[in-house]
Amino acid sequence: MTADGGPELVQLLTPEGERVHHPDYDVDLTPDELRGLYRDLVLVRRVDAEATALQRQGELGLWAQLLGQEAAQVGSGRALRPTDMAFPTYREHGVAWTRDVDPLQLLGLFRGVTNGGWDPHEHNFALYTIVIGDQCLHAVGYAMGVQRDGTDDAVIVYFGDGATSQGDVNESFVFASVYNAPVVFFCQNNQWAISEPLERQTRIPLYKRAHGFGFPGVRVDGNDVLAVLAVTKAALQNAREGNGPTLIEAFTYRMGAHTTSDDPTRYRVAADLEAWKLKDPIERLKVYLARNGHADHAFFDAVEAESEALAVRLREGCRSMPDPAPDSLFDHVYAEPHPLVDEEREQFVRYHASFAGGEH
């Protein structure tokens, strides 16, 4: 396996910011749309940086960083239509951004005020899934529902290179294949599953796995927002037209730690990081925009100012986020009355009320 993704890598924008052409994939974006993608990338990176800082300050219990994966997430997220459904892992903060989920709602999960946070139906963005790979089956089931509804919506599901070893992910490939489900499997190969390198998950390039399941696989430069957008749009269109699933392997790199609890210096070398820094997803788009006159200083300054304002809003919003009411832990466990839960809630409330002044 080559460290640069090999000749199969679909690329439309080189790390140096040069627009290149590919025989199968292309995008035709207006300058406005290109600037929009740049803004997305910058703001998503800022959300990630602020959340990491908030964890260091004790405001979040944990944060799963996406640094380096902004283009893979924004490019694929922006390929979706509003009515398409997306199933994330716990690191898809950039996809959440494209689905109009307020980043504060993501912080709520990592702060520990909720196990969910947003309305999956309002955003067509499922809740984060922490058990590795489980969501791939959910996506296929949802896509089977779409088939039965008879709409031309499509479904996308995110997972990592480590997840490709999971049984559920492989079962989801089988189900999607035999039912020809309108789903796109979007694997962000960030080269690391916590401390385990790709070599511990596979002996062949991940996108090639698809062929064994009977559907196409494609490897895209995950740090190239234009290529990711093009490849994902094509795969979604394929699904809409009844041609079944596609596996996209977005070849990228986890520039940060697995989570704020991780210490990558124990298992990987700094030279790798330096090499991948040169392939930064934001820098190459900035160069492209500036060089082609699609954006000027005023634009870049405005995005920077917006990023600052977003950071302030996140810091303040996170710190002022109230803890849930203690007895809310009994809420929504069941849809219909359940005598045990009702009884335990009563006991819980009575116990708390037994303290002087009803203080908890």
Interacting span for another protein (CB under 8 A) from 33-41, 93-101, 213-221, 334-342: 334-342
Task: Residue count of the chain, please give it.
Answer: 360
Pick 134 or 306: Cβ nearer another protein = 134
Please select the residue that binds another protein; options are 2, 57, 83, 115, rule is CB under 8 A. 115
Euclidean distance between CA atoms 152 and 316, whole angstroms: 41
Catalytic residue check, 111: no
Let me know: does 223 contact 277? Beta carbons within 8 Å: no
Q: By C-alpha distance, which of 225, 282, 210, 220 is closest to 27?
A: 225
Euclidean distance between CA atoms 52 and 65, whole angstroms: 7
Interhelix angle 134-149/167-179, rounded to 10 degrees, is 20
Please select the residue that binds another protein; options are 50, 168, 262, 280, rule is CB under 8 A. 168
Catalytic residue among 46, 91, 93, 258: 258
> What are residue 327's phi and psi, to 5 degrees?
-80, 0
Pick 6 or 324: Cβ nearer another protein = 324
Residues within window 171-230 making contact with another protein, judged by CB under 8 A = 171-172, 174-175, 178
Residue 119 is a binding residue for another protein (CB under 8 A): yes
Q: How far is the CB of 299 from another protein (least distance, A)?
A: 38
What region does 114 belong to: left with phi over 0, alpha with psi -120 to 50, or beta?
beta
Catalytic residue among 39, 78, 91, 254: 254
Let me know: does 252 contact 190? Beta carbons within 8 Å: yes
> CA torsion, points 4, 7, 9, 10, in degrees to nearest 10?
140
Binding mask 226-265 for another protein (x = CB under 8 A): ----------------------------------------
Q: Please tell me what DSSP assigns to residue 336.
A: S
Q: How far is the CB of 284 from another protein (least distance, A)?
A: 36
Residue 134 is a binding residue for another protein (CB under 8 A): yes
Catalytic residue check, 142: no
Catalytic residue check, 267: yes
Catalytic residues: 254, 258, 267
**Which residues contact another protein (rule: CB under 8 A)?**
85, 114-116, 119-121, 126-127, 129, 131, 134, 136-149, 167-168, 171-172, 174-175, 178, 331-336, 338-341
